[in-house]
Amino acid sequence: VLGGSVSSRLFQEVQEKQNLAYSIYSFLSSYSDNDMITMYTATKPKEVDRVVDLVCREIRQIGVTGVERNELERIKAQMKGSLMLSLESSHSRMNKLAKDELTYGRHTSLKNMLTHIDRVNMEQVFNVSRQYFGLDSLAITGLGPLASRSLQAYK
Protein backbone atom coordinates (compact mmCIF):
# COMPACT_ATOMS: atom_id res chain seq x y z
CA VAL A 1 0.00 0.00 0.00
CA LEU A 2 2.62 2.52 1.06
CA GLY A 3 5.53 1.74 -1.19
CA GLY A 4 7.41 -0.69 -3.31
CA SER A 5 6.06 0.16 -6.74
CA VAL A 6 5.21 3.15 -8.88
CA SER A 7 1.54 2.66 -8.06
CA SER A 8 2.08 2.90 -4.29
CA ARG A 9 0.58 5.73 -2.27
CA LEU A 10 3.98 7.14 -1.30
CA PHE A 11 5.31 7.14 -4.85
CA GLN A 12 2.14 8.64 -6.28
CA GLU A 13 1.76 11.39 -3.68
CA VAL A 14 5.36 12.38 -2.92
CA GLN A 15 7.14 11.72 -6.20
CA GLU A 16 4.48 11.97 -8.91
CA LYS A 17 2.00 14.58 -7.62
CA GLN A 18 4.26 16.75 -5.45
CA ASN A 19 7.58 16.09 -7.24
CA LEU A 20 9.41 16.23 -3.89
CA ALA A 21 11.56 13.10 -4.04
CA TYR A 22 14.16 11.60 -6.32
CA SER A 23 13.30 8.18 -4.92
CA ILE A 24 10.76 6.85 -2.42
CA TYR A 25 9.85 3.32 -1.40
CA SER A 26 9.19 1.08 1.58
CA PHE A 27 10.08 -2.47 2.46
CA LEU A 28 9.56 -5.05 5.19
CA SER A 29 12.40 -6.65 7.12
CA SER A 30 11.35 -9.78 9.02
CA TYR A 31 13.16 -11.23 11.99
CA SER A 32 12.39 -14.17 14.25
CA ASP A 33 10.93 -11.97 17.00
CA ASN A 34 9.63 -8.89 15.16
CA ASP A 35 9.36 -7.05 11.87
CA MET A 36 10.36 -3.59 10.72
CA ILE A 37 8.82 -1.49 7.98
CA THR A 38 11.30 0.96 6.48
CA MET A 39 10.32 3.91 4.33
CA TYR A 40 13.12 5.53 2.37
CA THR A 41 13.17 8.75 0.43
CA ALA A 42 15.83 10.86 -1.23
CA THR A 43 14.94 14.54 -1.43
CA LYS A 44 16.42 18.03 -1.34
CA PRO A 45 17.36 19.22 2.17
CA LYS A 46 14.83 22.06 1.95
CA GLU A 47 12.01 19.55 1.25
CA VAL A 48 12.70 17.16 4.16
CA ASP A 49 9.94 18.46 6.43
CA ARG A 50 7.35 18.51 3.63
CA VAL A 51 8.24 14.96 2.60
CA VAL A 52 8.09 13.66 6.18
CA ASP A 53 4.73 15.42 6.66
CA LEU A 54 3.34 13.76 3.52
CA VAL A 55 4.62 10.32 4.54
CA CYS A 56 3.08 10.72 8.02
CA ARG A 57 -0.20 11.87 6.45
CA GLU A 58 -0.33 8.75 4.26
CA ILE A 59 0.41 6.52 7.26
CA ARG A 60 -2.37 8.21 9.27
CA GLN A 61 -4.81 8.03 6.37
CA ILE A 62 -4.56 4.26 6.07
CA GLY A 63 -5.31 3.97 9.80
CA VAL A 64 -8.39 6.19 9.38
CA THR A 65 -9.92 5.05 6.10
CA GLY A 66 -8.17 1.78 5.30
CA VAL A 67 -7.94 0.87 1.62
CA GLU A 68 -10.49 0.57 -1.15
CA ARG A 69 -11.30 -2.87 -2.55
CA ASN A 70 -9.83 -2.09 -5.99
CA GLU A 71 -6.63 -0.73 -4.40
CA LEU A 72 -6.26 -3.89 -2.30
CA GLU A 73 -6.81 -6.17 -5.31
CA ARG A 74 -4.26 -4.19 -7.37
CA ILE A 75 -1.74 -4.40 -4.53
CA LYS A 76 -2.27 -8.13 -4.08
CA ALA A 77 -1.79 -8.75 -7.81
CA GLN A 78 1.38 -6.63 -7.80
CA MET A 79 2.74 -8.46 -4.74
CA LYS A 80 2.09 -11.88 -6.25
CA GLY A 81 3.68 -10.89 -9.55
CA SER A 82 6.74 -9.41 -7.84
CA LEU A 83 7.08 -12.47 -5.63
CA MET A 84 6.96 -14.87 -8.57
CA LEU A 85 9.45 -12.80 -10.58
CA SER A 86 11.79 -12.52 -7.60
CA LEU A 87 12.07 -16.30 -7.38
CA GLU A 88 13.05 -16.86 -11.00
CA SER A 89 16.80 -16.84 -10.37
CA SER A 90 18.48 -19.63 -8.44
CA HIS A 91 20.32 -17.03 -6.34
CA SER A 92 17.02 -15.46 -5.23
CA ARG A 93 15.53 -18.86 -4.45
CA MET A 94 18.52 -19.87 -2.31
CA ASN A 95 18.45 -16.51 -0.55
CA LYS A 96 14.76 -16.99 0.27
CA LEU A 97 15.31 -20.55 1.52
CA ALA A 98 18.16 -19.43 3.78
CA LYS A 99 16.20 -16.46 5.13
CA ASP A 100 13.13 -18.63 5.78
CA GLU A 101 15.25 -21.14 7.68
CA LEU A 102 17.09 -18.52 9.72
CA THR A 103 14.03 -16.40 10.46
CA TYR A 104 11.24 -18.93 10.88
CA GLY A 105 13.00 -22.29 11.17
CA ARG A 106 11.03 -23.62 8.20
CA HIS A 107 10.52 -23.13 4.48
CA THR A 108 7.39 -21.40 3.18
CA SER A 109 6.33 -22.55 -0.28
CA LEU A 110 5.41 -20.16 -3.06
CA LYS A 111 1.92 -21.68 -3.16
CA ASN A 112 1.48 -21.03 0.57
CA MET A 113 2.66 -17.41 0.23
CA LEU A 114 0.32 -16.78 -2.71
CA THR A 115 -2.58 -18.27 -0.74
CA HIS A 116 -1.81 -16.00 2.22
CA ILE A 117 -1.74 -12.94 -0.05
CA ASP A 118 -5.08 -13.94 -1.61
CA ARG A 119 -6.66 -14.25 1.85
CA VAL A 120 -5.81 -10.69 2.92
CA ASN A 121 -8.95 -8.57 3.20
CA MET A 122 -9.73 -4.89 3.72
CA GLU A 123 -10.59 -5.31 7.40
CA GLN A 124 -7.22 -6.98 8.11
CA VAL A 125 -5.33 -4.16 6.38
CA PHE A 126 -7.30 -1.60 8.39
CA ASN A 127 -6.72 -3.40 11.70
CA VAL A 128 -3.01 -3.94 11.07
CA SER A 129 -2.52 -0.32 10.02
CA ARG A 130 -4.25 0.93 13.18
CA GLN A 131 -2.20 -1.40 15.36
CA TYR A 132 1.25 -0.95 13.81
CA PHE A 133 1.28 2.36 11.96
CA GLY A 134 0.93 4.61 14.98
CA LEU A 135 3.13 7.67 14.72
CA ASP A 136 4.18 7.13 18.35
CA SER A 137 6.32 4.17 17.24
CA LEU A 138 7.88 6.04 14.32
CA ALA A 139 11.64 6.56 14.21
CA ILE A 140 12.97 9.11 11.73
CA THR A 141 16.57 9.38 10.59
CA GLY A 142 17.83 12.17 8.37
CA LEU A 143 21.20 12.02 6.65
CA GLY A 144 22.88 14.84 4.80
CA PRO A 145 23.04 18.62 5.06
CA LEU A 146 19.81 19.22 7.00
CA ALA A 147 18.83 22.60 8.39
CA SER A 148 19.26 22.73 12.17
CA ARG A 149 15.48 22.89 12.67
CA SER A 150 14.61 20.06 10.26
CA LEU A 151 12.65 17.21 11.83
CA GLN A 152 12.20 19.12 15.13
CA ALA A 153 8.44 18.53 15.02
CA TYR A 154 9.03 14.78 15.18
CA LYS A 155 11.03 14.58 18.40
Indicate the domain borders of the chain: 9-154
Alpha-carbon span 88 to 74, nearest angstrom: 22
Residues 6 or more apart in contact with residue 21 via CB below 8 angstroms: 14, 15, 41, 42, 43, 47, 51
When pLDDT is cut at 50, 70 and 90, the band that residue 123 belongs to is very high
Alpha-carbon torsion 118, 63, 10, 86, what sign? negative
Tell me which of 1-15, 82-96, 100-114, 119-133 is least confident. Answer: 1-15
Exposure on the CB side of residue 101, measured as CA atoms within 13 A: 6
Q: Judge whether 62 and 48 are in contact, CB under 8 Å.
A: no
pLDDT tens for 35-84 read 888 889 999 988 998 999 898 888 888 888 888 999 999 989 988 998 89
pTM of the model: 0.75
Alpha-carbon span 100 to 70, nearest angstrom: 31
When pLDDT is averaged across residues 111-140 and rounded to a whole number, the result is: 87
Pick the CATH number of 9-154 from 3.40.250.10, 3.40.50.9100, 3.30.830.10, 3.40.50.800: 3.30.830.10
| Per-residue pLDDT, 80 | 94
